[in-house]
Structure 1
Amino acid sequence: METVFIKGLGLIGSSLARAIKQDHPQIKIIAGDIDEKSLLYAKKHKIADQIVTDMTGIEQADYIILASPVSQIIKDIAILADKKLKPGVIITDVGSTKQTVMQAAQALNHRSLTFIGGHPMAGSHKSGVQAGRADLIENAYYFLIPASKNTDISKLTWLLAGTNAKWLQVTPAQHDKIVAQISHVPHIIAAELVNQTQQAFKDEPVGMRVAAGGFKSVTRIAASDPTMWSAILLNNRELILKQLTGYITGLENVSTLIEKEDRSALFDFFKRAKVSRESLNAPARAPFYDLFLNIPDKSGEIAKVTGILAKHHLSIINIQVLEVREDINGILQLVFNTEKARDQATRILEKDYEIVTR
């Protein structure tokens, strides 16, 4: 029987544990965390077979997954470098920055230990073991960064096959540049927008109370774990500072256009953004197909929609309610992995619902 040691039972660590248990029930999972409540929850709900508050039992692990904040992952790698580990053990992490982690992992390479950097591009504004889901990473990109070109990743992808992730190998530098722009900087912007809005409405509490629609969509990620994000920003500081400078310059340019009342340039600004944003749904870049429909704000309405699709054996890979307005209807976004499935769902649902063209 193979053993997996997972250090850190937050959203990602507990989701990986669930996916492994679901796909490989014969594997023993040892979970380590400093939060005893998280450990007890994991044991009670059979997410882990054994729980520890330290690294007890890590010597028997065939796989080690480091799922703490990046700063702790780096410390744990240094600890592992001095431990007697099982021959052939595969060590990986799920940190949101990779250059600092891969640099720390050189201490493991000197001992001929296999280290494969990892980062699943999935998450939630919720955190903790209770927020974890076996399908959290389904159809999401999962970056893998082998320590060397000859590293075999097949055993790790077998272990994590239950996540149904889309594997993508990149270099540490490529990874950090990508996530700085599409993940790290957006989190900063969302947090600052919430903080600035809170300050603007300090004498008008009704302002925050009515905030909805686009504001909620843009700032949803501001509710993420502050401990984790503080660590992420400091571990990718150079790239984030560079991209923040570019973002600030862009805002200053827009401010200048508004001052000059340059309608044509402002139109071009929004037009470029619209074209780029719409291209994200192009099949060549992201093979997902969206369907939007109006649904009444009634209990059980979403279950009714999914029930209809289930009867026709149509699988949804993602679903969400878009908070775009405050009237009696909402916009339900359904995501399919093929154009055929999306079109079939459209034909079925348009009998009972208004399809929204976006």
Structure 2
Amino acid sequence: MTRNVLIIGLGLIGGSLALALQKAPETKVYGYDLSEKTRELAKTLNIVHEVVEDVEEAAKKADFIIFGTPVNATLQWMDELKNWSLKKNAIISDTGSTKGLIMEKALELREKGLTFIGGHPMAGSHKSGITAAKPYLFENAYYILTPFDDEDGNKIIALKELLKYTLAKIVKINAEEHDHMTAVVSHFPHIVAASLVHQLDEENKKFPMTSMLAAGGFRDITRIASSNPMIWRDITLQNRKELIGQMDAWIEEMQRVKKILMENDDESIEEYFKKAKDVRDALPITTGAFYSTYDLYVDIPDYPGVISEITGYLAEENISITNIRVVETREDVFGILVISFQTEKDREKAMNCIRTHTNFEMHVS
């Protein structure tokens, strides 16, 4: 019996999910997006088996409905969904990065006899939109489900059975835990990165050369400050309770560091950095929240054309890269050319490729 899956919202996440689920046997993936241009691209790129124009009509035959839309848009769709005619056992889910508001709205669906299981695939890309969709985007990433505590276990199993074709690591937690943990590892770091950039901007007014020196570590630690402001406006407001708690903890931590500095205790200062290094070095490198890349550091000599030489070798073997940059300082880094890949397998292939053609030293961080 064929499973009918309807994905509403065909951007990076929705499109990638659609491509991954096309690998599931006896499954037909339908797709809808408010944008006519996106729907046309979905047809051209074969993102789904079938693009629909009447989303409510398509929902009538869906066994699974998954929203690939931002949280605010998903909340509006859920309001509309309450009045749709759906299959009795249809399972509804989403892909939003905050879960508290979503699960509150899901209570209204439950009153209508509808099953909603919150979802959040914790992967992404520096690119956005349907043209960036990839079937392997979620591979080895965490895919979090946030069902109600008393949700029908068979419904959860059915959703897991479908989502296993994303090759993600599917875990189940409650919405409150989800929002707290993502505040720690994703949402709050964005605020910190943005605050560091604001501080740089103020300092640059007094010392104009400051921004010219903002290379290496500063650029790396503030990279996420370049994220879409509207998306992070919504995420920050949706998870503001948890973020305020993280800010309070951060201020307390900064007061502790200030005290260490005022005491001028070299052992305490060294121990502070040592503990941070130990914790940081113990973090998993193959999975994580949201966008993860696999970086390769190549110590290249300084001669014209060396970068195009390396990328040429990779192109010859059809090895795709997601980003490439030259690090402007060697402090605390292995090499000056950093090449990022979507998967660990691609990085390994790249290392073998470069090793075949050059004697450049390479390191993985």
Counterpart-to-counterpart distance in 2, 1:114 and 1:266: 53
Instruction: Give CA-to-partner distance per residue, 1:119-151, whole Å, 9 cap, x none.
Output: 111112332222322221111011012233433
Out of 150, 153, 172, the position equivalent to 1:151 is: 153
Instruction: Give CA-to-partner distance per residue, 1:299-321, whole Å, 9 cap, x none.
Output: 252564698899xxxxx9x9875
Shift of 1:260: 4.2
* Number of residue pairs matched by the alignment: 347
Counterpart-to-counterpart distance in 2, 1:80 and 1:145: 19
Counterpart-to-counterpart distance in 1, 2:209 and 2:288: 41
SS in structure 2 at match of 1:201: helix
Instruction: Give CA-to-partner distance per residue, 1:15-56, whole Å, 9 cap, x none.
Output: 1122223555961312132x3332332222221422448645
Question: Which consecutive segments of 4 or more residues in structure 1 shift more than 6 A?
Answer: 203-206, 282-286, 305-310
Give matches, 1:1-358, under 5 Å. Answer: 1-23=2-24, 27-33=28-34, 35-48=35-48, 49-52=50-53, 55-147=56-148, 148-152=150-154, 153-201=156-204, 207-208=210-211, 211-281=214-284, 293-296=297-300, 297-301=306-310, 304=313, 324-326=327-329, 329-332=336-339, 336=344, 349=355, 352-356=359-363
Contact 1:120 1:140 in 2 (8 A): yes
Stretch moving more, 253-262 or 180-189: 253-262
Shift of 1:10: 2.5
Shift of 1:333: 6.8
SS in structure 1 at match of 2:153: coil
Counterpart-to-counterpart distance in 2, 1:227 and 1:254: 33
Counterpart-to-counterpart distance in 1, 2:287 and 2:134: 28
Contact 2:188 2:243 in 1 (8 A): yes
Change (3 A) 1:308 1:172: same
SS in structure 1 at match of 2:124: coil
Shift of 1:80: 1.5
* TM-score, length of structure 1 as denominator length: 0.80
Counterpart-to-counterpart distance in 1, 2:14 and 2:286: 31
Instruction: Give CA-to-partner distance per residue, 1:46-100, whole Å, 9 cap, x none.
Output: 2142244864532222211112222222232232222211222111011112222
Counterpart-to-counterpart distance in 2, 1:178 and 1:132: 26
Counterpart-to-counterpart distance in 2, 1:309 and 1:278: 32
Change (3 A) 1:333 1:228: closer
Counterpart-to-counterpart distance in 1, 2:193 and 2:247: 13
Counterpart-to-counterpart distance in 2, 1:30 and 1:333: 31
Counterpart-to-counterpart distance in 1, 2:206 and 2:57: 53
Contact 1:319 1:333 in 2 (8 A): yes
Change (3 A) 1:217 1:161: same
Contact 1:126 1:223 in 2 (8 A): no
Contact 2:10 2:68 in 1 (8 A): yes
Which runs of 5 or more structure 2 residues have no equivalent in the other structure?
A: 301-305
Shift of 1:233: 1.8
Contact 2:141 2:287 in 1 (8 A): no
Which runs of 5 or more structure 1 residues have no equivalent in the other structure?
A: 311-315
Counterpart-to-counterpart distance in 2, 1:232 and 1:320: 25
Equivalent residue for 2:303?
Answer: none
Counterpart-to-counterpart distance in 1, 2:114 and 2:128: 31
SS in structure 1 at match of 2:307: coil
SS in structure 2 at match of 1:193: helix
Equivalent residue for 1:313?
Answer: none
SS in structure 2 at match of 1:301: helix
Shift of 1:269: 1.7
